[in-house]
């Protein structure tokens, strides 16, 4: 379901936005909706990546390396 919102912008900004939207073959409203959708998508993807990275750090990575004690490493 779509819902309208109202925002207040400087007249000069609106004029520049209209030019950009026209060059893209779009409307200012559509352009803003697309930009907001992209912003939300990027934010959600970033949050998921942070959660995954934290889980990976907690789990650790098995590199297949044999574990040795400090004494074994420093045998002379």
pLDDT of residue 63: 78
pLDDT tens digits, residue range 48-70?
999 999 999 998 887 777 778 88
pLDDT of residue 52: 96
User: Angle at Cα 47 formed by Cα 42 and Cα 51, nearest 5°?
Assistant: 145
Ramachandran bin of 25, using left for φ above 0, alpha for ψ from -120 to 50, beta for the remaining angles? left
Q: Look at the chain and count its residues.
A: 76
Positive or negative torsion for Cα 20, 21, 25, 30: positive
Q: Please give the share of the chain, as a percent, with pLDDT higher than 90.
A: 74
Q: How many CA atoms lie within 13 A of 2 on its CB side?
A: 5
pTM (2 decimals)? Answer: 0.68
User: Angle at Cα 33 formed by Cα 21 and Cα 22, nearest 5°?
Assistant: 10
């Amino acid at each position: 379901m779509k819902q309208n919102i109202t925002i207040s912008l400087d007249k000069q900004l609106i004029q520049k936005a209209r030019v950009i939207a026209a060059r893209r073959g779009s409307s200012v409203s559509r352009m803003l909706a697309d930009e907001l959708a992209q912003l939300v998508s990027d934010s959600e993807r970033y949050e998921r990546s942070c959660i995954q990275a934290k889980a990976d750090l907690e789990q650790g990575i098995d590199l297949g390396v044999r574990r040795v004690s400090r004494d074994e490493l420093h045998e002379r």
